[in-house]
Structure formats: C-alpha cells, structure tokens
Amino acid sequence: MMMTMMMNGGEATEAELFLNCDDMSVLERQRVQLNYHQYHHPGFEPTLPCFFPNSSKMNVGEVDSFLPSAGLDLPEIYGELHGDARISVSPGNITTESENSKKRKFGCVDTETKVCNEKKKMMMMMDREVAVEEEEEEEKSKVTEQSTRSIMKMKEQNSCSNDSSKVTKDSQRTDYIHVRARRGQATDSHSIAERARREKISERMKFLQDLVPGCEKITGKAGMLDEIINYVQSLQRQVEFLSMKLATVSPRVDFNIDDIFAKEVVSAPMMNLPNTVMPPHMMVNSGYPHDMVNSGYVHFNPMQQVVTSSDPLSCFNNGQSATMWDSDVQNLYSNLGV
Amino acid sequence: MQPTSSMNEQFLKKWQMGLQIFRPSIDNTSVSERKRAIKLSADVAMASLRKGTTCWSRALIQKAATEDSFLVRQMLAGIKEETLINRKLPKIVCHRKIVRRSKKILMRRKSRSAMEEVTAKAKKLVKRKTKGLRNVVPGGEFMSNNVLLIQETLDYIVSLQTQVNVMRSIVDAAEAGVER
C-alpha cells in the first residue's frame, strides 16, 4: 500500500515522521492510513458520522458523575491496551508505537472537529491501546493542536474508564477520554462501549477483506470469518507442503544457496548482504584459503558482473527490473565458479 | 497490505540463519527430519520478525521452544529470548459446564420474539466461528477479546503470506537448479 499523503500543515508532519519510522508494524501503518483516509475524505468514513445530538447535553451531566475505574483491570473495550500492558517486552518499542498512535489519534480528532465545525460532536472512538502512558507521551500531547468544539483528555495509565462524554483536550497528567453518544441511540455507558468495540471490529474486518482473496462479496461476519479461517488453514498447509518439498528436493538442510542465487537476478532491495558470514563449507569447496574461511568475512576485488538468466525469484522484484546488485555479492557468486 | 520485498528479505535472512544451525548435525538424513528442521526454522524466523510485539508471534516462539529450544535461543539472540521463551501466557480458563448451565437458565427466563431468536442464532454462529479462528491462529486462546483477535489475525496472515512466498520461490529455484 502506498502511503502518499497530502501534507497539510502542522498536524500532518508528525504523521509523516512516524509513517517513515521503520519500527512501525503492519497494523500501525494500516491504522495510519485509515485515519488519514478519514482526514481527507471525512464523508467516506461511515463509522464517524456527524449528527445533531439532542441528548448530548443531558448525557454530559450524568456521565460526568461516572467515576473512572482505577487499576489495571481494564474493561473489555480496552482489551488491546490490556494485552499490550501485560505482554510488553521492550518498553522502548511499545512507547514509540503508542506515542505514534496517540499522536495520530489527536490528529484524527482535530480534523474531525474541523470538518464538523458547525455540527455538534459525535461519538469518538478512541483506541485504548494508546493509553499506555508515560511521560514522553504527555509532552507530545502538548504539541498537537487545540480544537474548538471537541477537545480531548487522555487519562493516565490506570484510570481509563467506560464513560462517555464530551471530548476535551488538556495537557495535564490525569485526563479522561470523553465520548459523546449518537442521536437516537442508547446513552448507556455500557452500550456505547460495546458499540465502539463493534465498530473497531468491523473496521478490522474491512482490512481483512482486502487481505483475503475473494472476499469482496461476502458481507456477514460469519461468512467472513469462515473465509478467513479457510485462508489461514490453507496458508499453513502450504507451508507444510513447501517445507516437505524442499526437504525432498535438496539433500542438505541449508539447500546450497549458491545453486539458487548464482543463476538468478534479484532486485535492488533484496539480498543486500555485504557482511554475511559465508558458510565455511561453501568456501572450502571453492578452494579459498583456509584463513579466509575461518575469518568469516569475505572481501572481494571488483570484478565483472554476473549475467543472469531467468528469474524465479521474481516475487522479490515487485515488477521492477534489477538495477543494482551489491557488487560484493555478485563477485561472491561469480567467484564460486557457477 | 501485502508483504513487501523488505519483509521477504528479512524473513529469508533469518530463515537461512536458522538453517545454518542445523547444518552441522548429521542426523538430518531422513526427509522428515529435514522437513521438520526447515519448517521449524521458517516458523521461528517468521515469528522473530515481529520481535515479540504480537501475541501470535510469542505463542509461536513458545511452541517452537518446546520442540527445539536451542534453535530458538540461537535464532532470537539479542531479542530478549529468555523472556520470550520462559514467559507463561495467561490462559483464559472457562469451566464449560458451569457456563452452559447458567446460560440455559438465562435462556429459559427470557421470553423470546422471532427477531430475538434470529439474532441469537446469528450470534451463536459468529461465536462458533471466532472459536474456530482462535484454534487456527497461534496463541488464539490467550487473546482476551475479539478486537485483538482480528488484529492479530491480520498480522498473522501477512506474515504467513511472506513465509509462503519466500518458501515457494526457494523451492522453485531449487527445483530449477536440480533440473539443470
């Protein structure tokens, strides 16, 4: 997926930063794209429509009295947060990701309000996974823009709650995530949380529809899940089959890489291996001096390039023609006497 | 999102690294032994790309560690392998009989209209499917809610696609090499 976005001022540049960040996982990128889709095409996003809520004012009153639940035992809606908090391995990684997604959420809300400026604010879906907060995130929150109608408060780590009310922004440490209810729907805090959950799920299911081939026509959750299960099972079976095939095809476990690559062209991003340790057995076979073998690093003089023929590894090419080939690698394979 | 070429690259590198570990052992003479080694290192390579951020990758690494912890340790060198291997994931324990009994009681108390019955059946179906999905995705039983499940499935599918693409191209190239 291409991430070409029109940059439109301050709030977009932060996104640009973390779009280029290599640490982001697939899902972070997807979320970014979705949120920017919302940013630029607000009318397309069915999950965040703008209405005139008549009941919103009443709602604010009752919900403000709802006390946030303390402690890490977060309700189901914050399942992702909960999961991440339990299983966080490297704090550095997690915080950068949550910082990024938090920045993103701020950006998303602000643009929403700009779009619905005359209309009253609707329910905001906040990803609770973002709320694993630490000091750095609070500083970042001060950077994001103020919005006129609806502003956001992010609650610190332990006190996310089920409540829903007006979204406000504050740069204090203890903040709340306020959400407003839609017109004509139950304002019960539980049902709002449930609705947010359901919408998150359908959001994710849409991504899955893109991934799984042949799913464009299936509309129901059960049918989609069926297709997903079948697809995952088929992929797993393919892995089994391919590994069995590979085991039968090649007599050695490491299937003699020089056989495979010496004859092929691989595109530029692929196989950039200037400093890989050559498996010693390969070098011994090609008659290299023993000390080179033992050192584990190979240096070559530049030599003529290897002309290659067919391209079974075209999956790595992504349709591009081979431009560069790391000269060390080329020389490596040519020296092996293909 | 489709797997990118850089993902393919990384997977291949890690997989090769894992296979190198098997190379010295002479026991890999039988096809099934080789297949097991290939598959195991491919799975660990796929999971290690995520560096412990996703639930399925952790579960996969744990499963692989029960089969061959030495391999896992070598492959994950530097990515907090100890915590990943030794961690016990919280398991959601459900006493099915108790749950079923309480559900039966609730169902009897409710008076049902036609609409409610339809939606109830649809919900049951969806629940059954999500259970099936949990069984398929590694570590699915430990995912506490559906949103997380779908998210992990997304990531898992992309990684699986990478794995399959790389493996298939290697197999094709190896076959082509053998034929010559």
A23-74 pLDDT, tens digit each: 555 555 556 555 655 555 544 444 444 444 444 444 444 434 444 444 444 4
Do B156 and A30 lie within an 8 Å CB cutoff? no
* Last residue of one domain, picked from the residues A176, A206, A228: A176
Using CB atoms, which residue from B9, B129, B173 is nearest to A312? B173
How many angstroms away from the CA of A319 is the closest CA of chain B?
11
Closest partner residue to A242 (CB to CB) among B53, B84, B168 is B168
Note whether B150 contacts A82, CB cutoff 8 Å. Answer: no
The answer to whether residue B145 scores a pLDDT higher than 70 is: yes
Mean pLDDT of chain B: 81
C-beta atoms surrounding B41 within 10 Å: 28
Q: Span A234-248, mean pLDDT? A: 90
Is pLDDT of A194 > 60? yes
Which of A58-67, A171-180, A213-222, B125-134 has the highest mean predicted lDDT (pLDDT)?
Answer: B125-134
Question: Given an 8 Å threshold on Cβ–Cβ distance, is A25 in contact with B50?
Answer: yes
Regarding whether A170 and A53 lie in a shared domain, the answer is yes
A146 lies in the same domain as A233: no
Helix (H, G, I), strand (E, B) or coil at B143: coil
Q: Model confidence at A253, in pLDDT bands (50, 70, 90)?
A: low
Least confident of A210-224, A234-248, A268-282, B14-28: A268-282
| Domain presence at residue A203 | no
Please give the average per-residue pLDDT across B4-15, as a whole number. Answer: 84
A88 shares a domain with A43: yes
A261 and A234 in a single domain? The answer is no
B154–A210 CB contact, under 8 Å: no
Q: Cβ contact (<8 Å) for A316 and B8?
A: yes
Looking at the 3D structure of chain A, how many domains does it have?
3
Beta carbons of A315 and B169 less than 8 Å apart: yes
Q: Confirm or reject contact between A269 and chain B (CB < 8 A).
A: yes
Confidence of residue B85 (pLDDT cuts 50, 70, 90): low
Say if A149 is an interface residue toward chain B (CB within 8 Å).
Answer: no
* Secondary structure of chain A as H, E, C letters: CCCCCCCCCHHHHHHHHHHCCCCCCHHHHHHHHHHHHHHHCHHHCCCCCCCCCCCHHHHHHHHHCCCCCCCCCCCHHHHHHHHHHHHCCCHHHHHHHHHHHHHHHHHHHHHHHHHCCCCCCCCCCCCHHHHCCCHHHHHHHHHCCCCCCCCCCCCCHHHCCCCCCCCCCCCCCCCCCCCCCCCCCCCCHHHHHHHHHHHHHHHHHHHHHHHCCCCCCCCCHHHHHHHHHHHHHHHHHHHHHHHHHHHHHCCCCCCCHHHHHCCCCCCCCCCCCCCCCCCHHHHHHCCCCHHHHHHCCCCCCCCCCCCCCCCHHHHHCCCCCCCCCCHHHHHHHHHCCC
Least confident range of B34-38, B90-94, B162-166: B90-94
| Res A308: pLDDT | 38
Token duo for residue B172? 């094709």
Residue A128 and residue A23 in one domain: yes
Q: What pLDDT shows up at residue A34?
A: 57
Q: Among A246, A261, A263, A336, which would you mutate to test the B interface (most chain B Cβ atoms within 10 Å of its Cβ)?
A: A246
Mean pLDDT calculated for residue range B32-61? 85
Lowest mean pLDDT among A13-17, A170-174, A270-274: A270-274
- Residue of B16, B150, B160 for testing the chain A interface, max A β-carbons within 10 Å: B150
Question: Which residue segment(s) compose the domain that A301 sits in?
Answer: 251-336
pLDDT of residue B23: 72
Chain B residues with CB-CB distance to A79 below 8 A = 144-145, 147-148
Phi, psi torsion values for B39, nearest 5 degrees: -65, -40
User: In terms of domains, do A230 and A259 share one?
Assistant: no
Examine the domain organization and report whether A163 and A119 are in the same domain: yes
pLDDT band of residue B156 (cuts 50, 70, 90) is very high
Mean pLDDT of A197-217: 85
Kindly state the percentage of chain B with pLDDT values over 70: 86
**Mean per-residue pLDDT for B144-160?**
88
Whether residue A211 is predicted with pLDDT greater than 90 in this model: the reply is no
Given a cut of 90, whether residue B24 has pLDDT beyond it is no
- Residue A187 domain-assigned? no
Is A25's CB within 8 Å of B53's CB? yes
Q: At a CB cut-off of 8 Å and minimum separation 6, what does A155 contact?
A: A68, A131, A161, A174, A175, A176, A177
Residue B67: pLDDT band by 50, 70, 90 thresholds?
A: confident
Classify residue A304: in a domain, yes or no.
Answer: yes
Average the pLDDT over A208-233 and give the result: 86
Buried b (16+ CB within 10 A) or exposed e, A5-18: beeeeebbebbeeb
Q: What is the average pLDDT across A118-136?
A: 43
Q: Do A52 and A169 belong to one domain?
A: yes
Q: Is pLDDT at A305 greater than 90 in this prediction?
A: no
Contact A204 B20 (CB under 8 A): no
Q: Within this chain, do residues A242 and A305 fall inside the same structural domain, yes or no?
A: no
Residues of chain A neighbouring B169 (CB-CB closer than 8 A): 312-316
Q: What is the average per-residue pLDDT within A85-92? A: 42
What is the share, in percent, of chain A residues with pLDDT greater than 90?
A: 5
CA distance A270 to chain B (A): 6
| Mean pLDDT calculated for residue range B62-85 | 74
Domain boundaries, chain B: 5-93+127-179
A158 touches B: beta carbon within 8 Å: no
Mean pLDDT score of chain A: 53
Summarize the confidence of residues A259-277 as an average pLDDT.
42
**Facing residue for B164 by CB, picked from A1, A80, A235:** A235
Q: Is pLDDT above 90 for A238?
A: yes
pLDDT at A207: 85
Higher local confidence (pLDDT), B67 or A6 = B67
A259 touches chain B (CB under 8 A): yes
A213 pLDDT more than 50: yes
A292 and A324 together in one domain: yes
Residue percentage of chain B with pLDDT more than 90? 6
Taking CB atoms and an 8 Å limit, are A254 and B169 in contact across chains? no
Task: Say yes or no: A25 and A133 in one domain.
Answer: yes
Q: A2 versus B81: which is more confidently predicted? A: B81
CB-based contacts of A14: which residues, under 8 Å, 6+ apart? A103, A107, A143, A144
* Cross-chain residue pair A254–B16, CB shorter than 8 Å: yes
Stretch A164-187: mean pLDDT? 59
